[in-house]
């Protein structure tokens, strides 16, 4: 990895929707909430970006639903989407498997319909039993009704020496009623039983990014996400720019403490940030200025002076925190400064 360490958010004179040809959008926490409802300003912002010529693609680590089901959900929310504009970790892992097994091979599936559709698309045959002569095992999120016997089936096959693949290893999955165990937790069950390690495709790993670029043909993509350790790290690993939105799981304190691979190119409140330019963060004496705010790194705290837009204050704080942390993680307390911004 030859990337320089990012020490502040970048500015952009042009609207991001004009400066980049394709938006690679995460779904949960970016376009819709865990319960399935659209996030404020998402549908309008995406419609405007698309009308301006930006290609929109949706990139999800969730392997349960096939692309046409995801596209149908988005279209219902007022975001018209074709199945071909949805890229899932099931597709990424199916390609990874197809590169390592003979054409038409049987694959033991522990997971849902999304995995089966993706395997068939690559000419592979999904099967349900370790006794069906599979040549590999693939595990993806199977929804709340996946039975314990499926983990046993995976374990039997892996113990016979079959290679093991996982769509993604997100430990949790958000739902309308709270946080539930995700595919990463299910993978952990099989890991405990077998002592084996799967090959993983999903964000932030390269197979997912490669799948996204192959399917969209993006030349100047912008990753748009809410999670630092999947979306933003995936963009970092793929060496493409990223926009963090604050509608999901990441708060200001986590952003200030981000190590280099978790620092986004841009940060904004929500998807309206795609439609505007981004302000410059400039050095100002000992600190950094953005809009009306100046941030400096003190001995124990991040200090903030001035007034103006809260997001500009956060951008200035990022510059102070990331510069002081360098290649590490900023340990300075930004709580008071963030409270002043209401973040």
**Residues interacting with Mg ion, by CB under 5 A?**
26, 28-29, 226-227, 248
Helix then strand count (H, E) for the chain reads: 12, 17
Strand spans (E) along 140-213: 164-166, 172-175, 178-181, 199-200
Comparing CB distances to Mg ion, the nearer of 28 and 153 is 28
Nearer to Mg ion, 29 or 252 (CB): 29
Strands (E), the chain: 22-25, 55-60, 86-88, 106-110, 125-127, 136-139, 164-166, 172-175, 178-181, 199-200, 221-225, 241-245, 266-268, 282-284, 287-290, 293-297, 302-306
CB atoms within 10 A of CB 212: 24
26 catalytic per annotation = yes
In the chain the first and final C-alpha atoms are separated, in Å, by 33
At its nearest, how many Å lie between Mg ion and the CB of residue 177?
A: 18
Nearest by Cα to 79 from 122, 27, 151: 27
CA-to-CA distance for 98 and 119, rounded, in angstroms?
Answer: 8
CA distance 55 to 21: 6
In angstroms, the CA 322 to CA 234 distance is 19
> Count of residues for the chain?
343
Distance between CA 252 and CA 264 in Å, rounded? 13
DSSP state of 41: T
Least distance to Mg ion, CB of residue 219, Å:
25
Nearer to Mg ion, 106 or 209 (CB): 209
Q: Which is nearer to Mg ion, 71 or 228 (CB)?
A: 228
CB 10 → Mg ion: shortest distance, Å?
22
Catalytic annotation on 226?
A: no
To the nearest whole angstrom, how small is the minimum distance from the Cβ of residue 280 to Mg ion?
28
Determine which one of 21, 26, 44, 131 is catalytic. Answer: 26
**Of 21, 28, 251, 333, which one is the catalytic site residue?**
28
Give me the least distance between CB of 227 and Mg ion, in Å please.
5
Beta pairing class for 106-110 and 125-127: parallel
For Mg ion, the closer of residues 28 and 312 by Cβ is 28
Using the minimum distance from each CB to Mg ion, give the nearer residue, 234 or 259: 234
CB atoms within 10 A of CB 340: 15
- Residues 46 and 232: their CA atoms lie apart, in Å, by 20
C-beta nearest to Mg ion: residue: 29
Where are the strands (E) in 140-198, listed by range?
164-166, 172-175, 178-181
Nearer to Mg ion, 232 or 290 (CB): 232
Catalytic (active-site) positions = 26, 28
């Amino acid at each position: 990895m030859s990337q320089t360490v990012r020490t502040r958010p970048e500015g952009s004179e042009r609207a991001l929707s004009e400066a980049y040809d394709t938006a690679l959008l995460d779904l949960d926490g970016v376009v819709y909430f865990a319960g399935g409802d659209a996030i404020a300003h998402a549908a309008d912002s995406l419609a405007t970006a698309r009308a301006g010529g930006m290609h929109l693609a949706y990139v999800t680590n969730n392997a349960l639903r096939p692309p046409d089901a995801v596209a149908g959900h988005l279209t219902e929310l007022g975001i018209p989407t074709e199945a071909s504009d949805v890229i899932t970790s099931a597709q990424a892992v199916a390609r990874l498997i197809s590169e390592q097994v003979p054409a038409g091979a049987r694959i033991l599936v522990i997971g849902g319909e999304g995995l089966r559709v993706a395997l068939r698309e690559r000419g592979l045959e999904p099967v349900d039993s370790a006794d069906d002569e599979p040549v590999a095992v693939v595990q993806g999120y199977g929804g709340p009704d996946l039975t314990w016997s499926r983990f046993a089936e995976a374990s039997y096959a892996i113990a016979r020496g079959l290679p093991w693949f996982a769509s993604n290893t997100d430990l949790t999955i958000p739902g309308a009623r709270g946080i539930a165990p995700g595919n990463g937790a299910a993978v952990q069950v099989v890991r405990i039983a077998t002592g084996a390690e799967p090959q993983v495709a999903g964000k932030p790993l390269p197979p997912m990014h490669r799948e996204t670029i192959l399917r969209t043909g993006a030349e100047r993509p912008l990753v748009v996400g809410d999670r630092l350790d999947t979306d933003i790290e995936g963009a970092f690993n793929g060496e493409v720019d990223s926009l963090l939105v604050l509608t999901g799981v990441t708060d200001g304190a986590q952003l200030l403490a981000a190590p280099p691979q978790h620092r986004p190119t841009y940060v904004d409140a929500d998807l309206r940030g795609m439609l505007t330019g981004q302000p410059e963060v400039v050095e100002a004496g000992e600190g950094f200025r953005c809009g009306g705010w100046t941030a400096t790194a003190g001995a124990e705290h991040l200090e903030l002076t001035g007034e103006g837009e809260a997001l500009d204050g956060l951008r200035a704080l990022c510059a102070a925190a990331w510069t002081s942390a360098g290649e590490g993680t900023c340990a300075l307390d930004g709580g008071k400064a963030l409270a002043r911004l209401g973040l």
